[in-house]
Amino acid sequence: MEIFLNEKSIMVDEGSTAFSLREIFKKDADIVIYNGFIIKEDVLLKNQDRLTLIKRGEIPTMQELEGLMVSRHTPGVHEKIKNARVGIAGLGGLGSNVAVSLARIGIGYIKVIDFDVVEPSNLNRQQYFIKHIGMKKTDAINQLIAEINPFVKVETEDIFIDEKNIEGLFKSVDIIVEAFDNPNSKALLVNTVLKKMPSKIIVAASGMAGYFSNNRIVTRKVGDNFYLIGDGESEARPGCGLMAPRVAIAANHQANTVLRIIMGERDV
Amino acid sequence: MLVNGRKMDFENITILMLLQNLNLDINKVVVEVNLEIVSKENYPDYILNGEDKVEIISFVGGG
């Protein structure tokens, strides 16, 4: 029967178990992942099962790395994610967090767009480091993604998005994440995508400032191609700033919505 | 008409007038009438009638 060992197809005898393959292929492996789940007790393998053997702390080769990274995904998920094409408009608190989550799950292609540079006041909620201060956000996020998951193809565009360039900028993606700070830009992007780009899906956000309840941040499906995340009213303003926890909650609502769309789950 | 699921009593009102009535900024909204997105340029001329279902998303800043 065929099984996948570290994501590579191999033929094994009927009756093989997870631990019997560890004996043969990687005796010193102390982490055994069976169909996306770490096991402590031996299991009998079935045709098409996936098994990953990892020695804790060992640095894998680039060839091995991708297989090991996807081993915690449920089988069948990785192929779809790898083929997905996502655009992120804005690389602030929302966009940088969405980019990192999507990179970690192994999205095949991410197009990131921003016109700004990293500054100290970004570090309270955005995924950048002190060493990135002064760097273009597109370059900084590109560097971060390469360090998290070098198998993601990243395209960057250092540009201010306006009504005229939206269609061209997002031609190469299927799903667009609206991650701007400015409400006028948010409305402009959503209106343009829904009106002029009927084949695209947009995942937008509105209302995530402060430290109000986690549970007021929700995901709504407004239309077939329009998802909206946030509490709808907590605006960033004097006395009510943006902070990492709530912005990251909203960003990861967006990232999980993207993942669900990729996996064919269109309801919220 | 229904605006964001709530019954409102307006007659022959344009989208622009409705937005002004609700104190909303035309540059920060997405307006859907009977599940169709309406472009900003059409807000001043688009007259809503009693049967229309209007959905207004008004964005707030922050991200």
- The per-residue pLDDT for range A41-57, each reduced to its tens digit, is 999 999 999 999 999 99
Interchain contact, B60 vs A233, CB within 8 Å: yes
Which residue type occupies B2? L
Q: How many CB pairs under 8 A join A and B?
A: 79
Specify the pLDDT at position A65: 87
pLDDT < 70 regions, chain A: none
CB B27 to CB A187 under 8 A?
Answer: yes
ipTM: 0.96
Instruction: Give pLDDT, residue A75.
Output: 72
- Name the fold adopted by B2-58: Ubiquitin-like (UB roll) (3.10.20)
pLDDT the model gives residue A49: 94
* Chain B CB contacts of A196 below 8 Å: none
C-alpha–C-alpha distance, residues A236 and A244, integer Å:
13
Using CA atoms, how far apart are residues B52 and A44, in angstroms rounded to an integer? 60
SS (H, E, C) A174-190: CEEEECCCCHHHHHHHH
**Which residues in chain A are closer than 8 Å to B62, comparing Cβ atoms?**
93, 181, 207-209, 234-236, 242, 247
pLDDT at A69: 83
Contact B28 A187 (CB under 8 A): yes
pLDDT number for residue A60: 86
Instruction: Give whole-number Cα distances, A262 to A35, A79, A174, A238, in Å.
Output: 20, 11, 9, 38
What does the domain layout of chain B look like in residue ranges? 2-58
Q: What is the CA radius of gyration of chain B?
A: 11
Q: Which residue of B has its CA nearest to A125?
A: B63
pLDDT computed for residue A248 by the predictor: 98
pLDDT on residue A76? 79
Is A201 in contact with A177 (CB distance < 8 Å)? Answer: no
Q: Quick one: pLDDT at residue A63? A: 78
Identity of residue B4: N
Provide the pLDDT for residue B47.
Answer: 96
Domains belonging to chain A, first-starting first, are 2-68 (3.10.20.30), 78-262 (3.40.50.720)
In B2-41, the residues whose Cβ lies within 8 Å of chain A are 25, 27-30, 32, 35, 37, 39-40
Residues of chain A in contact with residue B30, where contact means CB-CB under 8 angstroms, are 187, 190-191, 194, 222, 226
Strand A85-89 to A31-34 pairing: unpaired
